[in-house]
Amino acid sequence: MLMNFLRRLIPFRPPRRELHTLASVDAYSKWATTYPPNAHNALMQVEERAMLSLTLPMDGKIVLDLACGTGRYGLLAWDRGAKTVIGLDNSPDMLHANSLSLKSLSGVTAIPLAANSVDVILCGLGLGHEKRLDAALAEIGRVLRPNGGYALVSDFHPFMFLSGARRTFQAQDGKTYAVEHYPHLYADYHRAAWAANLLIEQVVEPHLDVETSSAENIPAKATEAPVVIVYRLIKP
Ligand SMILES: C[S@@+](CC[C@H](N)C(=O)[O-])C[C@H]1O[C@@H](n2cnc3c(N)ncnc32)[C@H](O)[C@@H]1O
């Protein structure tokens, strides 16, 4: 019963034998046309609020929306006065559906930008799809400007995945698919950040919003475990 409530609200569900897992690029190819550039479910709303709570000023800054998808965080950066916004993603279809003018096809482990060239990196719900967290954080650490540069990174909480929840979506063919995901523990982020000369300055682990949950009649139990984890990393 609890999972039925959660399934209505957030794009995950317990694994079922018939649930097919797609590689990230294949999944987002099917999902892109119906993936709006805003927080379109309760998990994303909670995640976005947490990301914005850790945001430092962006006016006049060069901002990289990494694993940008359809551009949710790039658009928020524009609204906050960024001077330049660059979107990178490894899904051609997500990029096609993205309205940012400066965008390019790129994986998170090989960012096509110069060292120390970016003031702010926003990476929403992307790194969980990448197995090589160390390589991704090494790239974030390389392109980020020192002395004031910061990155906000959000991830599907490993508690969720390790409890059996999956990141799922319904494709145009009517089928529900799971998306490739790798649970990264806090210790994994800490080790990778340290190796990349990044400091984890803030971490938040928000739960499903209690107000939304009670409005939707969700059992209190659903709000007990955090659904996402959000990091603010700085380059000293
Ligand atoms: C859950 S969506 C989030 C999109 C956007 N950041 C947002 O928050 O609305 C995850 C995005 O990460 C991208 N992605 C997954 N693995 C990636 C990788 N290794 N390199 C770059 N982008 C990746 C996907 O193509 C997808 O657009």
Distance 92 CA to ligand 1 centre (A): 11
- Strand order from edge to edge, sheet including 228-234: 103-105, 84-89, 62-66, 120-123, 150-156, 228-234, 199-204
Rounded CA-CA distance 193/142 in Å is 11
204 Cα distance to chain centroid: 14
Nearest atom within ligand 1 for CA of residue 47: 8
- Is residue 188 packed enough to be buried (19+ CB in 10 Å), middle (13-18) or exposed (0-12)? middle
Determine what percent of the chain is predicted with pLDDT higher than 70. 86
Residue 1 has pLDDT above 50, yes or no: no
Centre of ligand 1 from the C-alpha of residue 65, in Å? 10
pTM over 0.75: yes
In the predicted model, is pLDDT for residue 123 greater than 70?
Answer: yes
Q: Is the pLDDT of residue 14 over 90?
A: no
Report the C-alpha gap between 73 and 123 in whole angstroms.
Answer: 8
pLDDT reading at 209 higher than 90? no
Q: Is the CB of 67 under 6 A from ligand 1?
A: yes
| Closest atom, ligand 1, to C-alpha of 37 | 9
